Each structure stands twice: as C-alpha cells, then as structure tokens.
Amino acid sequence: MMTDPVSDMLARIRNGALARHDRVEMPHSNLKKHIAEVLKSEGYVDDVRESDGEGKKTLTLVLRYGRGKDSAIDGVRRVSAPGRRVYVRYDRIPRVRSGMGISILSTSRGVMTDRQAREQKVGGELLCEVW
C-alpha cells in the first residue's frame, strides 16, 4: 500500500533523471497526470503517455535532456505531504530558486504552476517544487 503516490512519482522522476533513463513509468492517477501535464507544458518532460496494461493504467513520462545528456530536471522536492499539508494564498506563494524553478499547486481551478496561480489570484495546496 502506497501512502503518498505523489512522492513516489517525484522519486521516480528524480531517480530516472539521475540514471539518465529515457522515460519513467508509474501507476496512473488523475492528480499524477495533471502534474505530468504541467511538467510537459513547462518544458521539464518531452511527452506524457497513458496506457492500459493488464488491467492497470500506467503513466509514462518521456524525460527531456539537453546537450551532453544534462537533464532538464535538476531537482524536485515534495512540499505538502499527507501528514503535513501546506496551503498558501496566492500572494504568499514562494519563488523557487529565485524564479529559475516552479512550484506546482493544486487549486480550486485545477493543478497549475506558481506563476499561473499568481496571475489568476488563486491559492491552494503547494504540492511540490521543480528546478
């Protein structure tokens, strides 16, 4: 039984990037899919695929690399966890690495980046940071 699927997703992404894998696979959930779509729109991953296999849906992220196999993702950090939820107002959303990274929030208007949340003036649960 997995207690924190989002932390598992972030660990798989971090480990896959450090091991220079082309892609990472994980069990599917709607929240993970939305987080992956945000990562794709921000240029951290190349593609997000869903597949049905043996009765279980899986989510596959194709990781992005630059020249010399440098990963687009230098680091990820889980902020809000099941035992310690972190909620922020739009005007208190922290900047990640002086604006060089993103925060991903779950808001009443869906999963979005810190920049989008500030523009829409909406706060929410601060899921993770990516840089």
What digits encode the pLDDT tens for the residues 15-58?
999 999 999 999 999 999 999 999 999 999 999 999 997 889 99
Q: Which residue has the higher pLDDT, 69 or 77?
A: 77
Sheet holding 45-53, edge to edge: 23-27, 56-63, 45-53
Residue 70 neighbours by CB under 8 Å, 6+ apart? none
pLDDT cut 70: percent of the chain above it: 99
Query: Range of 34's domain?
Result: 5-130
Nearest Cα residue to 125 out of 117, 2, 23: 117
SS3 at position 54: coil
Residues 74-92, mean pLDDT to the nearest whole number: 97
- Whichever domain contains 66, its CATH number is 3.30.1490.10
Q: Are 61 and 47 in contact (CB under 8 A)?
A: yes
127, pLDDT greater than 90: yes
Q: How many distinct structural domains can be found in the chain?
A: 1
